[in-house]
Amino acid sequence: MKQLVLTRFREFLREPEALFWSLAFPMLLTVGLGIAFRNRPAEVVHIAVVGGAYRATTTLASLRADKGLAVDSMSADEAAVAVRTGRVALVVQASPAGVSYEFDDTRPDARIARLLADNAIQRGAGRSDRVGVVETQVRERGSRYIDFVVPGLLGMGLMGNGIWGIGFSIVDARRKRLLKRLMATPMSRIEYLGSFVVSRFVLLVIEVLLLVGFSALAFGVPVRGPLWQLALICALGAFSFGSLGLLIAARPRTIEGASGLMNLTMMPMWILSGVFFSSENFPKALQPLVQALPLTAVNDALRASMLRGAGWNEIGPELLVLLAWAVVCFVLALRLFRWR
């Protein structure tokens, strides 16, 4: 087992591409997403005002009093072109009878512009609020998009390293007839397959420390749960994905065949398991399937631990899902694995 594990490390270190995609790429992706979705002041919405002299003047004055709006006075033709090309989100038609709004209701910024503009115009006309309102702005680590996406990237990395890292190595060795030679040695099937899982655990420590440490230092991503809990979640995730990679690689003889099975397995999880957006966006009818996926369990457990400091009562179901995937897939891989 010792020599097999050392062999796995040598194979990994001799492939610069594997080092890049396993260690450097997740951090580069974190940097890009962290910069793109950094905390910024509220964006100013651009709108156009069209109408007669008196009504347009009073409407412009009311709208320009709102700092969240950038207001331009345009002719009807100019406004029509501006809204079609996306230069403005809303066109306000001012007339003696009142105002009308022209906007694309499928654009979120257009709906926001409509609400802001109407509120500014009504206030300018003398409307007063019947109920007093107090606003409290809360900006706390854990509520930002970068806080949401880092656990997802970590889960995606665990899945990629487990399935791609293990699956391709086994299939490539089978294609080169190396497994046929190993079969003649005094080595059991469980030792050979287990060496992949053990080596991935060691690489897991480096991957998690780099990604979580970099995210915490560069973007202030919180880790509110205990570190040993985070380590356990990652270990179970690595075990489950590693076992799944072993199962996928148990039979294929070509890289093309293995690649197809891996993409077929991973693509639904990339989409459904909440890497870049919440898995709760999918219909309730799909939720039992979504929650049963191992990547969903990893992502939910990581976010609960890192962002909320959740205890075992909250992450227990996710850990059981991961354990079930790990045990079932590893047992099936042992039964189905062939050397050639």
∠ CA 134-138-139, nearest 5°, is: 155
- Is 324's pLDDT higher than 90? yes
Question: Dihedral sign, CA of 119, 120, 123, 128?
Answer: positive
pLDDT of res. 184: 77
More confident: 22 or 80 = 80
Please give the backbone phi and psi of residue 101, each rounded to the nearest 5 degrees, phi first.
Answer: -115, 135
Q: Stretch 61-87: mean pLDDT, rounded?
A: 85
**Class (C level, CATH) for 45-124:** alpha beta
Cβ atoms of 293 and 268 within 8 Å: the answer is: yes
Mean pLDDT is lowest, of 12-16, 76-80, 125-129, 233-237, for 12-16
Residues of the chain with CATH 3.40.190.10: 45-124
pLDDT of res. 225: 87
pTM: 0.72
Helix axes 255-272, 145-160, angle to 10 degrees: 160
Cβ atoms of 8 and 173 within 8 Å: the answer is: no
pLDDT tens sequence across 248-306: 988 888 888 888 888 888 888 888 888 888 888 888 888 899 899 999 999 999 999 98
Helix H or strand E segment including 62:
helix 53-64
Cα(65)–Cα(116) distance, integer angstroms = 11
